Amino acid sequence: MRVPALLLVLLTAACAGPPGPAQDATNAKGIASPGDSVKLTGAGEFTTGDTSAIVYDRKLAPEGSQASVTVESSGGQTRTSLVVEGLLPNRRYGSHLHTNPCGKKPEAAGPHFQHHAGQIDPSSEVWLDFTTDAEGAGRSSSRNEWTLTRAKLPGSLVIHSDPTVASGPKVGDAGARVACLNLK
Ligand SMILES: [Cu+2]
């Protein structure tokens, strides 16, 4: 039986929609066994007192700012999506997954998470730079062609003051750490 054209349009629209449950369709291909899939999430309003969603720079992440991140790893791919609200408007920020959980000090999150040790680029690391809109909201997503293993998971998402340097001697640099979100 042929799939009606209208249904196809609807299915396509669903896949092209914002990150969310619709992306689970990838898993339906059956490439990965259920045991291979890893899902991590983090969300919260950035405060100075809580280390699971902590702010280091109140100018660049004002009171009330918040973020939500989802990492879904299965079927040979890792898909990560980030949504932010309440940041400064019309501004570019850098953002990556880092190795360790957030802490009181910005350095607590450790270096960038890398799938290939020592390889600093968006195919080995998870880069989630974004530009905020006029309201200070923004989003980004990334797709990596590898899966996470439970023995080595990223611990946090860090938002930086500047866009990530993509090449040259300063590759991977993105300025000071503005805020951090724990992944669970
Ligand atoms: Cu970073």
pLDDT per residue as tens digits for the range 119-139: 999 999 999 999 999 999 999
Q: What is the C-alpha to C-alpha distance for residues 17 and 27, in angstroms, rounded to an integer?
A: 17
pLDDT at 125: 98
Question: What is the DSSP secondary structure assignment for residue 93, as one 8-state letter?
Answer: E
Distance 178 CA to ligand 1 centre (A): 10
Q: What is the pLDDT of residue 69?
A: 98
Q: What is the CA radius of gyration of the chain?
A: 17
- 21 C-alpha vs ligand 1 centroid, how far in Å? 26
Span from the CA of 125 to the centroid of ligand 1 (angstroms): 10
**From the CA of 91, how far away is ligand 1's center (Å)?**
17
pLDDT of residue 151: 93
Residue 51: its pLDDT value, please?
87
Burial of 152 (0-12, 13-18, 19+ CB in 10 A): exposed
Query: What pLDDT shows up at residue 99?
Result: 98
- At 8 the pLDDT is 41
Tokens at 62, concatenated = 């004002």
Q: 150 CA to middle of ligand 1, Å?
A: 21
Residues less than 5 Å from ion ligand 1, measured at CB: 96, 158
Distance of CA 60 from the midpoint of ligand 1 (Å) = 15
- pLDDT < 50 regions, the chain: 1-33
- Residue 2: predicted pLDDT: 46
Domain coordinates in residue numbering, the chain: 31-182
The predicted pLDDT at position 50 comes to 87
Q: What is the spatial distance between Cα 15 and Cα 20, in angstroms, rounded to a whole number?
A: 10
pLDDT (0 to 100) of residue 140: 98
CATH 3.40.50.10490 is the classification of domain 31-182: no
Backbone conformation region of residue 77, classed left if phi is above 0, alpha if psi is from -120 to 50, else beta: beta
Q: How far apart are the first and last CA of the chain?
A: 43
Buried b (16+ CB within 10 A) or exposed e, 89-121: eebebbbbbbebbbbeebebbbebbbbeeeebe
Q: Which two tokens stand for residue 179?
A: 């805020």
Note whether 86 and 142 are within 8 A (CB).
Answer: no
**Alpha-carbon torsion, ordered 113, 96, 124, 118, to 10 deg:** -50
